[in-house]
Structure 1
């Protein structure tokens, strides 16, 4: 597709939730690292609870949120089920002049997209499907360096090894009740104390409040930083500064982000089970990227995971019409 030499216009479309929006924005930013582009975010909602219906039954006129109207972008990158009533119609609306990309498994006819970028563990196949290990993210070496520098004054004095701990929690398949959180905190504290290091702890929106409070109290005696969600978010700086990273097993995004650093990565088991996430964890172990946390924080470095960049190269190859 030709643009007349101007920068690409890319829309990163989602419902605005951090983990979902990061997939669309991450892939858009990776494309922009390869070719000049202007990126605009579009956040989508649906009136009267219609977003809970199957995408076929949601009338586009019931949309809330940012404007979705011409002029259409050169590349549309949608993430999450909230975008499907629009993503599935964009090829028709734009008369084929917009290259339509969807992350995750859309559970919609694949011919409604130019490219689908799902995680490998979804098992989705098709001529326009490009599976990756994990999910698209916003991490690059440059971003890690910038974020690391922004928080250097607070992080640099901390004793090493610096252990980043990223905690998820409640999802369809997992939960993190208070007692489980306390037990996990105890194992983390023992490992950090044995290593003589410090902790860089960040929770997510899915961490139950009781678990958050319990872990904060149990780990507050350690040197380090426990982000209380006030001030600027140090999440990327924590990853960039870490000598080891611990993530709970309930999230593809968290493990994918951590794997982009190349530092030893350990997964923490929490109550619940997901067959898909188990396949993802197995793939990380098979590639020497991650292993279960058993108290030892030593591990081997590995080539940082750069699946978002790989997907961006494939996106542009297909956008350009290469065979």
Structure 2
């Protein structure tokens, strides 16, 4: 394996392929890690998105072959005149059949990183960057709090600039509320959403502050309507999904961040800001032990607490797990 990984070595940029199924939440994990590596050493990043044809999508990973990919997929093999990348970073079930074969196909040239717990052929990857709450252990596993992401102070400031005229006049404390929705483990029915909105309104009103609210694609329409109706009178901005996404701007401008307990990604991203993270309860559909472990981890690190209806301030060292993962990638690559 070529040693082009020493920070500051600009002789030859590292080549990195980021591979996902194109879903933003998934892709951002791999891309965030690639960008963190790029901040440590010169690198060229190429994003590759793949999708399996519907007929083959549900097949076990072991039975999938590249000819089963949808024609809209990007190539995951070098084109004529190309070489395999120095570093392959992939995420999600869809990428597993490709990731598991890269080491052999590249003749050992490519260092293969998979984010999340693959739950299939875990020894086939050089490094697995997995959430600590998934509790997987192996010599090739790095456990981190949450998942890799793209949130950095620079990106937050850049995102905030586009909304400065709307957010900077808002009274403090500014409260960002990041609302998820129905998943395998949680639900957000209308009545519960209305109750949450009432508690949020009470906290913001008591503090004399303002609200910056955004919903996820999983938020039920009835829950959106109930929360919007209850919170629309507050100073602030409720994003309805139209126009540019203010997510980074909200994180940058917030004094407090409220996050529903169904999203590990949003909780970890909020904890990277150093701002108090308040966890909003949802309706459990089944045991959600891994979320409980994540929230316990965040509490132990001083980042998050259950929302108690108030906006108490506290401080902690912002989480920088994506950078830690990037350093580990480069260290493992240097070992060969």
Question: What range describes the TM-score normalised by the shorter chain of this pair?
Answer: over 0.9
C-alpha distance in structure 1 between counterparts of 2:237 and 2:305, whole Å: 24
CA deviations on 1:194-215 (whole Å, 9 max, x unpaired) are: 1111001111111112211221
Do the aligned residues in 1 keep the contact of 2:260 with 2:280 (CA within 8 Å)? yes
SS of residue in 2 equivalent to 1:20: helix
C-alpha distance in structure 2 between counterparts of 1:49 and 1:156, whole Å: 50
CA deviations on 1:152-171 (whole Å, 9 max, x unpaired) are: 11100001100000011111
**Corresponding residue for residue 292 of structure 1:** 306
**Match for residue 86 of structure 1 among 87, 90, 98:** 98
What TM-score does the superposition give when structure 2 sets the normalisation length? 0.93
CA deviations on 1:72-128 (whole Å, 9 max, x unpaired) are: 221111111111111111111111111100000000222210100000011111111
**Could you tell me how far 1:49 is from its partner in structure 2?**
4.2
**Corresponding residue for residue 252 of structure 1:** 264
**Corresponding residue for residue 277 of structure 1:** 291
Runs of 4 or more consecutive aligned structure 1 residues displaced over 3 Å after TM superposition: none
* Ranges in structure 1 where 5+ consecutive residues have no aligned partner: none
What TM-score does the superposition give when structure 1 sets the normalisation length? 0.97
**Corresponding residue for residue 9 of structure 1:** 15
**Could you tell me how far 1:51 is from its partner in structure 2?**
2.2
**Corresponding residue for residue 105 of structure 1:** 117
Would you say 1:319 and 2:327 are equivalent positions?
A: no
Would you say 1:33 and 2:39 are equivalent positions?
A: yes
Count the aligned residue pairs: 322
C-alpha distance in structure 2 between counterparts of 1:309 and 1:116, whole Å: 15
SS of residue in 2 equivalent to 1:218: helix
CA deviations on 1:266-315 (whole Å, 9 max, x unpaired) are: 00010114111111111111111100001111120211110000000000
* Ranges in structure 2 where 5+ consecutive residues have no aligned partner: 5-9
C-alpha distance in structure 2 between counterparts of 1:49 and 1:163, whole Å: 45
Do the aligned residues in 1 keep the contact of 2:3 with 2:333 (CA within 8 Å)? no
C-alpha distance in structure 1 between counterparts of 2:164 and 2:87, whole Å: 36
C-alpha distance in structure 2 between counterparts of 1:73 and 1:170, whole Å: 38
**Could you tell me how far 1:54 is from its partner in structure 2?**
2.0
SS of residue in 1 equivalent to 2:219: coil
SS of residue in 2 equivalent to 1:125: coil
Q: 1:116-155 alignment to 2 at 5 Å?
A: 116-155=128-167
C-alpha distance in structure 1 between counterparts of 2:245 and 2:251, whole Å: 12
SS of residue in 2 equivalent to 1:45: coil
**Match for residue 165 of structure 1 among 169, 172, 177:** 177
**Match for residue 69 of structure 2 among 40, 63, 76:** 63
C-alpha distance in structure 1 between counterparts of 2:328 and 2:168, whole Å: 38
Q: In angstroms, what is the RMSD of aligned CA positions?
A: 1.3
C-alpha distance in structure 1 between counterparts of 2:58 and 2:217, whole Å: 20
C-alpha distance in structure 2 between counterparts of 1:151 and 1:8, whole Å: 35
**Corresponding residue for residue 239 of structure 2:** 227
